[in-house]
């Protein structure tokens, strides 16, 4: 019985991990190109969650459609924040960029609070379930998993098969050399930041397909912490490593929850969060570049 429950939770972990991984790709992309750590990451995911909520509850539109809208809105926010703040801080000390991204997150939280209020919200979008024998998966979770995979593949194709993607890779390798070769480095920085934010906001929509309740302006904090663990696990500068890191993290999180639940007198959820930071510390001590590669 325990083994069956563990196997079912591991499958659930893979599905949830795909969303975690996609959510972290934007964080890793921004760091990989701009060397900026976005500590406001969770707030941008929160914006995506509210976009899904607004589309479904107020417009009656399928949350799947909200993914594209969230990506476009996220790109817009990315360009806005880049040209108003980040463009002035590219060569600034790391503390300046940390404070700037933190301020962005706080600003977004308070704006959403003014518009929607601070209470918890949610929506109910039921499209059936599928039984796998060892577990039952709602189709909304499968849609989130498939959507995450599709977005990861599209990002890979864009980076490796388009001229803009080639320019981005050249800036990562040598920004001054790319500038000499005629690449608009500032434009690449702006596009990379906007793309990273767009992916992050879109991931908030996917997350609500998995967890459609508990949407509130301050929901992003826990996901920021998880994103940092996943990013370090996969290689902080590697978006693709982040995706696979998310899969690994989802498996560890759900699998450990099952095992911790067998222990008397403990809170399994709290221990899974504790375990995530133990993993983070171990990785930083043993392999700072990440278990799955990355520079």
Query: Where do the structural domains in the chain lie, given as residue ranges?
Result: 2-286
Does position 26 have pLDDT exceeding 90, yes or no?
A: yes
CB neighbour list of residue 73: distance below 8 Å, 6 or more residues apart: 47, 51, 201
Least confidently predicted of 163-167, 170-174, 237-241: 237-241
What was the pLDDT predicted at 295?
A: 46
The torsion of the CA quartet 218, 223, 227, 229, rounded to 10 degrees, works out to 120
Does position 293 have pLDDT exceeding 60, yes or no?
A: no
Q: At 288, is the pLDDT very low, low, confident or very high (cuts 50, 70, 90)?
A: confident
Residue-wise DSSP of 126-177: ---EEE-SS-EEEHHHHHHHHHHHHHHHHHHHHHHHSHHHHHHHHHHH-HHH
pTM for this entry = 0.90
Cα-based angle 241, 230, 131 (whole degrees, multiple of 5)? 90
Q: How far is CA 125 from the centre of its chain?
A: 22
Just give the CATH number of 2-286.
Answer: 1.10.3470
Q: Rounded distance, CA 91 to CA 185, Å?
A: 13
Does position 77 have pLDDT exceeding 80, yes or no?
A: yes
Residue 87 is given by DSSP the state G
Q: Rounded distance, CA 116 to CA 58, Å?
A: 12
What was the pLDDT predicted at 86?
A: 93
Pairing of strands 129-131, 136-138: antiparallel
Side-chain-side CA neighbours of residue 34 (13 Å):
33
């Amino acid at each position: 019985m325990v083994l069956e429950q563990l196997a079912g939770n591991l499958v659930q972990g893979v599905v949830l991990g795909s969303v975690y991984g996609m959510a972290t790709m934007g964080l890793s992309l921004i760091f990989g190109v701009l060397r900026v750590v976005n500590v406001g990451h969770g707030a941008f995911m929160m914006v995506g969650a509210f976009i899904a909520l607004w589309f479904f509850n107020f417009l009656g539109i399928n949350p799947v459609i909200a993914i594209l809208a969230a990506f476009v809105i996220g790109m817009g926010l990315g360009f806005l924040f880049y040209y108003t703040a980040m463009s002035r801080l590219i060569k600034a000390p790391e503390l300046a960029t940390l404070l700037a991204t933190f301020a962005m997150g706080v600003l977004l939280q308070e704006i959403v609070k003014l518009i929607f209020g601070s209470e918890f919200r949610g929506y109910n979008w039921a499209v059936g379930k599928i039984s796998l024998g060892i577990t039952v998966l709602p189709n909304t979770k499968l849609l989130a998993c498939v959507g995450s995979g599709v977005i990861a593949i599209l990002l890979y194709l864009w980076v490796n098969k388009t001229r803009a993607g080639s320019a981005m890779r050249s800036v990562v390798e040598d920004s001054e050399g790319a500038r000499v070769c005629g690449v608009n480095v500032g434009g690449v920085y702006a596009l990379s930041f906007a793309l990273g934010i767009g992916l992050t906001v879109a991931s908030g929509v996917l997350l609500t397909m998995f967890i459609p309740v508990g949407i509130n302006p301050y929901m992003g904090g826990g996901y920021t912490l998880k994103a940092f663990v996943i990013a370090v696990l996969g290689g902080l500068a590697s978006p693709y490593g982040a995706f696979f890191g998310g899969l690994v993290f989802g498996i560890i999180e759900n699998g450990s929850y099952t095992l911790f639940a067998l222990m008397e007198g403990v809170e399994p959820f709290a221990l899974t969060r504790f375990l995530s930071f133990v993993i983070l510390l171990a990785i930083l001590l043993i392999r700072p570049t990440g278990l799955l590669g990355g520079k």
